[in-house]
A and B are shown apart, each in its own frame.
Chain A
Amino acid sequence: MNLDAVDEAVTSSVFFARLQELTHKLADPLLNWGFRYSTWWYLFGLKCCAIEMMSFFAARFDAERLGTFFSSTPRRADLMFVTGPVTKKMAPRLKLLYEQMPCPKYVIAIGECAICGGPWFESYSVIQGVDKIVPVDMYVPGCPPRPEQFIESLQKLHKDIKEKGLRR
Chain B
Amino acid sequence: MMEEFQKTLQEKFKIAESIVVRNELRVKLVREELLPLCKFLSENSFDHLSCITGIDFIEYIQVVYHLFSYEKKFWVVLKVDLQKDNPHVPTVCPVWPVADWLERETYDLMGIVFDGHPDLRRILLPESWKGYPLRKDYVDENEIQWGEVL
Contacts and interface: CB of A to CB of B under 8 A. Distances in A.
Interface stretch (A39-47, A56-64, A84-92, A106-114): A84-92
Contacts of B85: none
Query: How extensive is the interface on chain A, given as a class?
Result: 10 to 19
Contacts of A127: 144
A92 B149 contact: yes
Contact of A92 (B125, B138, B142, B144): B144
A95 B149 CA distance: 10
A125 interface: yes
B133 interface: yes
Contacts of B145: 88, 92
Contacts of A91: 144
Interface residues of B, number: 13
A93 interface: yes
B144 A93 contact: no
Contacts of A96: 149
Contacts of B144: 88, 91-92, 127
Helix, strand, loop or mixed for chain B's interface? loop
Contact of B133 (A89, A93, A95, A124): A124
B17 interface: no
Given A124-B138, A125-B133, A89 B146 contact: no
B142 A124 contact: yes
A93 B140 contact: no
Nearest to A122: B140
Interface string A116-132: 00000000110100000
A127 to B, nearest CB: 7
Nearest to A89: B126
18 contacts: A88-B142, A88-B143, A88-B144, A89-B126, A89-B148, A91-B144, A92-B144, A92-B146, A92-B147, A92-B148, A92-B149, A93-B149, A96-B149, A124-B133, A124-B140, A124-B142, A125-B133, A125-B142
Interface of A: 88-89, 91-93, 95-96, 124-125, 127
Interface of B: 125-126, 133, 138, 140, 142-149
